[in-house]
Amino acid sequence: MFCYQCEETMNGTGCTMNGMCGKKGDVAVLQDRLIYALKGYAFCNSRGRTKDCNDSDFGPFVMEALFSTLTNVNFDAAYFEQMIQETIKRRDVVRNAVHNGAPPGPHAPNAAVITYEELMTKTAEEIGILSIENVDVRSLRETLIYGLKGISAYGIHALILNSESDEIYQFIEKALVSTIEDSPLEKPNVDQMVALLMECGSIGVKIMSMLDTANTGTYGSPVPTAVSTGVGQKPGILISGHDLKDLEMLLEQTKGTGVDIYTHGEMLPANAYPFFQKYDHLVGNYGNAWWQQKSEFESFNGPILMTTNCLVPPKDTYIDRLFTTNMVGWSDGTVSAKHIPANSDGSKDFSEIIALAKTCAAPKEIENGTVMTGFAHDAVLSVADKVVSAVQSGDIQKFVVMAGCDGRRKEREYYSDFAEALPDNTIILTAGCAKYRYNKLDLGDIGGIPRVLDAGQCNDCYSLVVIALKLAEVFGAESVNDLPLVFNIAWYEQKATLVFLALLSLGVKNIVIGPTLPACLSPTVLDVLVQTFNVSKNTDVESDMKRLITL
């Protein structure tokens, strides 16, 4: 196997035996085969589009497939075998329609004609990342694929709330086709591949905006909320991941059952939506970022529902209480987590989880306080006057965007240290699970404005963009680069890759990322990013404080 899509990749270069995330070699090569098959499906669908016989379900299916290959989503070999089979079946339907049942032409790429049986014999070396010999082409293509995974993750959440866009589906199709090695079409040159990455970033802004509209249209605009981190006396269900519709269905089905609901990880910001606040049995948030789940799921005592990433290979002590849904899956070939499927109308039956919860002890207390969230764009912009006068008076010197992901590496303590070392006249704007590194620190407020403003999940980085653009407008700045605003972001997986591309597509410069640079960036591609956008890696707290804040 070879995988270098996330920040924890082995030695900062690539996982080659088993993934640091727990992904086994057999699942890694199945994911390579699925992506290969998706490229062939995209190729045939693009031909079908010109003859009006493309698959109308192409976008949703491909988004599901790509999302399932994102880090920490699905570890189940059987799932990927079935998805590869389904992709080839769908591809063949479109291809036959394009050719009126005749065999494909001699110039069709292999991904458009390979059979399921043949594909299942292909190795990672033959069809995976390292099959692309030119290191820069490999870098640009893989970064694009990771951006597509991010688009797909956010696209699926929007789709679940009945929001979709053919523009986004057509981009996914075009981008997949652009990565085909033996394509009969003219291959994009390096400049065109860089342009595709920027387009991917723009589509990222669109999908995050669409999801923001879908979320706020369905659940209301988040309001600043102090969320309890303690526990009650009743048994509970812990819901983790990002999917708000699952939370809605779970809350409805647990009404009056005597079972409490707790959020975990990226589900914390759900507590700030007015819609969810009407449920008294949504009692608070249990635990921290995804990587601490092994101890937190154990001490929670009740069932856990993983609606999306980040799933860590479970311990025996709670595997019987772990349920997955959507694209999430876990199996080691012998033991599997129970999967809750969606019915054809999107509804789900959580009765098995609820019945199990009733037999479990209440969660063990691991904290007892509150944590603030709910500072999405509407909440922050409603106090824009206060913010502007605080900047004008010098009470606020700088805004520091510290959004992104958390991870288990020790180097990430940097983010807590950096937050603590920031001068009192700075405000942290955050979103994503990176916040758990500093959202429980007592950093105080500036004239009633908390020094850590949590806009929500990683997709809610869109809120930070809206806030930055509004500040630029209010201050008459030409761009966000002219604001007292710096970026020190933490990345882990492919949604963060998309958010990064989205920021670049908006022309944001001087972004500092860490704790390492993406391994998929070749020296040449990195050089382009440095020359064009002055992107750099974080260093140590003292040096970064000097270059970002005090200079």
Q: Given the rule CB under 6 A, which residues bind ligand FS2?
A: 72, 265-266, 290, 309-310, 405, 432-433, 457-458, 492-493, 495
Give 58 or 500: the residue with its C-beta nearer to ligand FS2.
Answer: 500
Whichever of 42 and 433 has its CB closer to ligand FS2, that residue is 433
Which of ligand FS2, ligand SF4, none binds 9 (CB below 5-8 Å, type-dependent)? ligand SF4
In the bound state with ligand SF4, the residue whose beta carbon lies nearer, of 510 and 516, is 516
Candidate ranges 7-15, 195-203, 217-225, 467-475; the one touching ligand SF4 (CB under 6 A): 7-15
* Residue 151 CB-density burial (10 A; 0-12 exposed, 13-18 middle, 19+ buried): buried
- What token pair was written down for 124? 């990672």
Comparing CB distances to ligand SF4, the nearer of 143 and 430 is 143
- Going by their DSSP bridges, the two strands 485-490 and 398-401 should be labelled as parallel
Smaller CB separation from ligand FS2, 212 or 266: 266
Mark residues 18-57: x for contact with ligand SF4 by CB under 6 A, - for none.
Answer: -xxx-x----------------------------------
Residue 379 as a binder of ligand SF4 (CB under 6 A): the answer is no
23 binds, among ligand SF4, ligand FS2, none (CB under 5 to 8 A by kind): ligand SF4
Q: How many Cβ atoms from other residues are within 10 Å of residue 522's Cβ?
A: 18
Q: Which is nearer to ligand FS2, 221 or 309 (CB)?
A: 309
The DSSP secondary structure of 29-66, one letter per residue, reads HHHHHHHHHHHHHHHHHHHHHHTT---TTHHHHHHHHH
If you count them, how many residues does the chain have? 551
Q: How far is the CB of 46 from ligand FS2 (least distance, A)?
A: 29
Q: How far is the C-alpha of 66 from the C-alpha of 76, rounded, in Å? A: 15
Q: Looking at beta carbons only, is 40 or 407 nearer to ligand FS2? A: 407
Q: Establish whether 15 is an annotated binding residue.
A: yes
The token duo for 324 is 């997955």
Is residue 5 involved in binding ligand SF4 (CB under 6 A)? Answer: yes
Partner touching 260 among ligand FS2, ligand SF4, none, CB below 5 to 8 Å by kind: none
Cα–Cα distance, 310 to 70 (Å, whole number)? 9
Instruction: Give me Rg for the CA atoms of the chain.
Output: 23
Verify binding: residue 6, ligand SF4, rule CB under 6 A.
yes
Residues forming beta bridges with residue 373, ordered by sequence position: 225
Task: Compute the Cα dihedral for 495, 501, 507, 512 and give only its sign.
Answer: positive
Give me the least distance between CB of 35 and ligand SF4, in Å please: 13
The entry of ligand SF4, ligand FS2, none near residue 458 (CB within 5 to 8 angstroms by kind) is ligand FS2
The residues near 149 (Cβ < 8 Å, ≥ 6 apart) are 5, 66, 67, 69, 70, 494, 495, 497, 498
Q: Is 145 in the site for ligand SF4 (CB under 6 A)?
A: no
Nearest to 116 by CA among 34, 51, 52: 34
d(CA 62, CA 371): 37
Nearest partner of 264 among 278, 246, 249, judged by Cα: 246
Closest alpha carbon to 200 in 147, 254, 123, 136:
147
Q: Which CB sits closer to ligand SF4, 285 or 309?
A: 309
3-state secondary structure of 354: helix
Q: Minimum distance between the CB of residue 178 and ligand FS2, rounded to whole angstroms?
A: 25
Residue 21 known to bind ligand: yes
Least spacing, CB of residue 468 vs ligand FS2, in Å: 20
How far, in whole angstroms, is CA 57 from its chain's centroid? 23
Number of residues that bind ligand SF4 (CB under 6 A): 12
200 is known to lie in a ligand binding site? no
CB of 487 to ligand FS2, least distance (A): 16
Binding pattern for the stretch 65-94 against ligand SF4, x by CB under 6 A and - elsewhere: ------x-----------------------
What is the sign, positive or negative, of the torsion defined by CA atoms of 459, 464, 467, 469?
negative
Instruction: State the Cα–Cα distance between residues 213 and 224, nearest whole angstrom.
Output: 18
Binding at 432: pick from ligand SF4, ligand FS2, none (beta carbon under 5-8 Å per type)? ligand FS2
Q: Strands 485-490 and 304-306: what pairing?
A: unpaired
Question: Least distance (Å) from ligand FS2 to the CB of residue 452?
Answer: 17
Q: What is the smallest separation between the CB atom of 529 and ligand SF4, expressed in angstroms?
A: 20
Residues that bind ligand SF4 (CB under 6 A): 3-6, 8-9, 15, 19-21, 23, 71
Binding residues for [4Fe-4S] cluster: 3, 6, 15, 21
Binding residues for hybrid [4Fe-2O-2S] cluster: 242, 266, 310, 405, 433, 458, 493, 495
